[in-house]
Amino acid sequence: MSDTRDLLVELGTEELPPIALRGLMDAFAHNLVQGLEKAGLAFSRHHAYASPRRLAVQVEGLQERQADEPLVRRGPALSAAYDTDGRMTKAGEGFARSCGVSPEALETLETEKGAWLVYRGVRKGKATVELLPELVDQALTRLPIPKRMRWGAGDAAFVRPVHWLVLLFGDQVVPARILGVESGRETRGHRFHAPEPLSIDSPGDYPDLLRDKGRVVVDFQERRALVHDGARKAALAMNGEAVLDEDLLDEVTALVEWPVPVVGSFDERFLEVPPEALISSMQGHQKYFPVRDANGRLMPRFITMANLESRDPQQVAHGNERVIRPRLADAAFFWEQDRRRPLAERVEGLKDIVFQRRLGTLYDQALRVASLARHLAEPFGVTPAVAEKAAMLARCDLLTEMVAEFPELQGIMGRYYAQHDGLGDGIPAALDEFYQPRFAGDRVASSPLGQLLAIASRADTLVGIFAIGQSPTGDKDPFGLRRSALGLLRTLIERERSLSLKALLELAAEHQPDDVNARTQVEPVLDFCMERLRGYYLDQGYAPELFEAVRAVRVSVEDNPPRPIDDPLDFHRRLLACAGFQRLDAAASLAAANKRVINILRKADERPGQPEPGLFQCQEERTLYDTVQPLAIEVTALAERGDYAQALERLAGARSAVDAFFDQVMVMAEDKRIRNNRLALLQQLATLFSSVADISQLPAAG
């Protein structure tokens, strides 16, 4: 093993895009580490750093050179390398010259397919300092930068102008020219607190040197913790609690090198505006942290992170207060103006907004959702007229000034405006819940009307977009159909709404424009939703076999042929019951028995009828029959009530009878009547097994 040294690479730039900084930091470290590994350069560990003006990677215990590798190079066949007199031919001599050795240094290689000249040597590993410039350059080239820029007269292109490059291997500067700058050991500290260059003696000094002398906290996570704790403590000092949005924490961390919390205030009259609008204004426009009181009400305070320690913090606070005042005034103006027109007067305006060219405007979509909601209303305990009215109003807040300025408030502002308009019947809350869940982990709609709108709108979107040939492909999902499908499924499952997905999608297809032929897309959309359901359970840690066990069940609805379960709530209950059943001692034995039963019945020549007790020849047959008959009645009744867990628990009671049957009974007897009678008994057992799920697919308890 060669000697090792620590490596430091730092690229100094103009201020990097704050939203992208964390991703650039991680990608740079990943690319560089991947390059080192591909080059065969071992190391002990690495650490990524980033601040607004730098990306850096520190690698500890990096090999000083690649390991030597054995080299085997095969040349011409011996028949071509030597003439009939045993003298080496020009082909053989040429091979020796290409290997840089004399002919005597060559060896022979004999195999079943023939004999060849061969050169055996050692490929010397390169020194790490020779490899680093290209590895660093490649790591930077592969960064996820959608648009690179050039500056000055050079050809170098990067996301921002580059000003310095540190490339240290131990205490040695590795000579390189990357992105138009020469490597060195000098870094830059804070623009104002430490503007002079700082010389780095060795990579291990890097973070402490920048913190202590450069006034830069270069570790992203450490700086984020300072931002988080600084905002929290500042809020506590005024008996409040900071609203610490995770994405905003990342963005603020990417904006400052030396975070210093500053508290500001605004006029209490702005608190008459809905708090969500004020929070959006503070977070989105100014990157401030709002503050709530002990009761959760917004306080007329905010916290910002200065990027320096000011001699007069109060002036910094006043400056930020002057900046936020017009922003909040705009929000107050939008709030006042929007309330002058009720939501109902904005419905006509939906005709001017195209949802999708072939699917019409938002007004057309609202009509479809309204009609669908009317059909589904009664099972949700909602009056059809209320369902239709709410559906027509659901997107009207998109036409307000407030939502035009803050798109993230759609639905939220619909609730406030509906309350102002005096709308009842749960419509205000439903206009907000219409969009839930908005993101992964968000709660689903809680009110029946909100659930109804959320389900109807997602069904319309899924069927419509599939019908125009815009279903998701690969990682492209411009209409967010994966999110829509999961939101639909989660609403049905988590709010315990029993509904046939197929029937819902068929109804949605009937309301689509005639020229898109939506009816042909019901099955593809249903399959798409079931795949999202599979992912939903995998994300929660359920084994894929549990999903497959339930998916394999076929149920009959009215006079239709048996088909897979398409009621997400029913599917969910069965899966949870299977998850509990597989932990029972009897589960593995019954799963194996079920698999055996299925295989036997599959190979049977005839379809068995009902078993006849008079044809039983041994006690194990009679015991199994006596076990199955009452159990079938009990388990069927439990399954029909949806009590699948209890049904499977009762099914576990058949274990001893099933095990004894297979231990003592030869199913495929020579006597046809005896054989068919035993097959009939197994058919009853198979029907019993499949009443909840195909338990033969259940995994062993882990």
pLDDT digits (tens, 9 = 90+) for 135-157: 999 999 999 998 898 887 778 89
Average pLDDT of 444-472? 96
Asked if 373 contacts 387 with a C-beta cutoff of 8 angstroms, the reply is: yes
- pLDDT of 506 over the 60 cut: yes
Average pLDDT of 218-223? 98
Crossing angle between the packed helical segments 448-467 and 481-494, to the nearest 10 degrees? 150
Amino acid at 315: Q
Q: What is the pLDDT of residue 676?
A: 86
Of the listed ranges 201-205, 292-296, 365-369, 672-676, the least confidently predicted one is 672-676
Q: What is the pLDDT of residue 700?
A: 57
Q: In which band, very low, low, confident or very high, does the pLDDT at 1 lie, cut at 50, 70 and 90?
A: very low
Of the listed ranges 490-499, 507-516, 686-695, the least confidently predicted one is 686-695
Q: What is the pLDDT of residue 701?
A: 52
Of the listed ranges 181-185, 446-450, 652-656, the least confidently predicted one is 652-656
Q: In which band, very low, low, confident or very high, does the pLDDT at 612 lie, cut at 50, 70 and 90?
A: confident
Q: Is 469 left (phi over 0), alpha (psi -120 to 50) or beta?
A: left
Average pLDDT of 53-73? 92
Q: In which band, very low, low, confident or very high, does the pLDDT at 702 lie, cut at 50, 70 and 90?
A: very low
Distance CA 31, CA 135 (A): 9
- pLDDT of 699 over the 80 cut: no
pLDDT > 70 in the chain, percent: 98
Of the listed ranges 19-33, 63-77, 303-317, 371-385, the least confidently predicted one is 63-77
pLDDT per residue over 97-131, tens digit each? 988 888 888 888 888 888 888 888 877 889 999 99
- pLDDT of 607 over the 80 cut: no
- pLDDT of 630 over the 70 cut: yes
Q: What is the pLDDT of residue 557?
A: 67
Q: In terms of pLDDT, which residue wins out, 474 or 58?
A: 58
Alpha-carbon dihedral angle through residues 99, 104, 109, 113, given to the nearest 10 degrees = 90
Q: In which band, very low, low, confident or very high, does the pLDDT at 78 lie, cut at 50, 70 and 90?
A: confident
pLDDT per residue over 270-310, tens digit each? 999 999 999 999 999 899 999 999 999 999 999 999 999 99
What topology is assigned to 343-541 in CATH?
Answer: Hypothetical protein af1432 (1.10.3210)
Distance CA 685, CA 682 (A): 5
Q: What is the pLDDT of residue 574?
A: 93
Asked if 74 contacts 20 with a C-beta cutoff of 8 angstroms, the reply is: no
User: Residue 222 corresponds to which tokens in the numbers above?
Assistant: 């450490």
Q: What is the pLDDT of residue 337?
A: 96
Distances (CA, A) of 12 to 50, 182, 250, 631, 632: 10, 12, 20, 75, 74
CATH 1.10.3210: which residues of the chain? Answer: 343-541
Distance CA 364, CA 359 (A): 8
Alpha helices by DSSP H, listed for 553-666, are 568-581, 585-603, 619-640, 644-651, 655-664
**Which runs of E-coded beta strand occur in 241-345?**
241-242, 260-265, 289-292, 298-306
Q: What is the pLDDT of residue 451?
A: 97
CATH 3.30.70.260: which residues of the chain? Answer: 4-66+127-212
Distance CA 454, CA 441 (A): 16
Average pLDDT of 18-45? 96
Average pLDDT of 322-337? 96
What integer best gives the mean pLDDT of the chain? 92
pLDDT per residue over 461-493, tens digit each? 999 999 999 999 888 899 999 999 999 999 999
What topology is assigned to 583-697 in CATH?
Answer: Isoleucyl-tRNA Synthetase; Domain 1 (1.10.730)
- Give the HSE-up count for residue 601: Cα atoms under 13 Å, Cβ half-sphere: 20
Q: What are phi and psi of 110, to 5 degrees?
A: -115, 130
- pLDDT of 377 over the 50 cut: yes
Closest by CA to 390, choosing from 410, 413, 371, is: 371
CATH 1.10.730: which residues of the chain? Answer: 583-697
Q: In terms of pLDDT, which residue wins out, 679 or 268?
A: 268
Q: In which band, very low, low, confident or very high, does the pLDDT at 558 lie, cut at 50, 70 and 90?
A: low
What topology is assigned to 4-66+127-212 in CATH?
Answer: Alpha-Beta Plaits (3.30.70)
Q: What is the pLDDT of residue 2?
A: 58
Asked if 350 contacts 361 with a C-beta cutoff of 8 angstroms, the reply is: yes
Average pLDDT of 441-464? 96
Distance CA 265, CA 300 (A): 6
Distance CA 272, CA 332 (A): 8
